[in-house]
Amino acid sequence: MNMKSLIIRACLPLAAAAALVSCNTGEQTLYYNSYMTAVETEGQPYRCIFVTDDSTTVIPLNFFPNIEDLKTDDRIIATFSIPSGRITDPVEVEFTSMAQLLPQSVIMTSSPDTIANDPADPMTMWHSGGVKGASRYLTVTFNVQASSSGIAHGICLVDDLSAENPDADGYYHLKFRHSANNDPIMYTSANVATFPLADKYSAPGIKGIKVDFRPITPGIDSTLTVTY
């Protein structure tokens, strides 16, 4: 089975709204980093508004390259300022950077051992969407061993159809799978992957999701858990 390829890159700080201080002007300007989902709408200056992963509606005040190419459920990580100086919902922002996150696959199979399982260290995981026109996503941060070769690594989640899901506590278990594609080990790289969630993963009675890893680091907790 094919895994979607992901170029391994270092990510911005992983906070839903991490304040940064600009040194470009004499006055202090606060900038924020946030993961968001685009939602197409009418009656706005640009094609989309956005919903942050903590469910805040974001309205762009400025044009930014490629913003007109985005469509509903496109995932981005963006840096922006808030001209009003107040974090409200909705909030009007001016974007200063924007990078699109390509959704990775959730593969359903009864033969999970046929899918590559190179090590990866789990870091953090969160659930977003299901509100304000945005679909549900599971976003995972993790470390892998990589090189500067530019070789694309494969990333996916596996839904093992031979396993009993949900478990007795109401959690749906998925397996994180990583293919290094024989990339030589030179350093540890921090990464993020986002996965669209089908309705079955948030059906009535499902309390949350547990994702199991094959870690790089001995003794590290091999499972990330998110509770709805």
The model's pLDDT over 133-186, given as tens digits with 9 standing for 90+, comes to 999 999 999 999 999 998 999 999 999 999 999 999 999 999 999 999 999 999
The model's pTM is 0.87
Contact 105, 3 (CB under 8 A): yes
| 18-101: CATH superfamily | NigD-like N-terminal OB domain (2.40.50.500)
Q: What is the CATH number of domain 102-227?
A: 2.60.40.2370
Contact 117, 178 (CB under 8 A): yes
Choose the weakest-confidence range: 1-5, 49-53, 69-73, 101-105: 1-5
Kindly report, as residue ranges, where domains of CATH 2.60.40.2370 are found in the chain.
102-227
Mean per-residue pLDDT for 208-222? 97
Kindly report, as residue ranges, where domains of CATH 2.40.50.500 are found in the chain.
18-101
Report pLDDT digits (tens) over 75-108: 999 999 999 999 999 999 999 999 999 999 999 9
Neighbours of 21 (CB within 10 A): 8
Cα 210 to Cα 212: distance, rounded to the nearest angstrom: 7
User: How high is the pLDDT of residue 10?
Assistant: 34
Tokens, residue 139:
């976003």
User: How high is the pLDDT of residue 29?
Assistant: 87
Phi, psi values for residue 114, rounded to 5°: -85, -5
Contact 119, 168 (CB under 8 A): no
- The alpha carbon of residue 119 and the mean position of all alpha carbons in its chain are separated, in whole angstroms, by 19
Examine the pLDDT at 187 and tell me if it is beyond 50.
yes
User: How high is the pLDDT of residue 46?
Assistant: 87
Report pLDDT digits (tens) over 9-61: 333 333 333 333 333 445 688 999 999 999 999 878 888 999 999 999 999 99
More confident position, 15 or 189: 189
Contact 37, 75 (CB under 8 A): yes
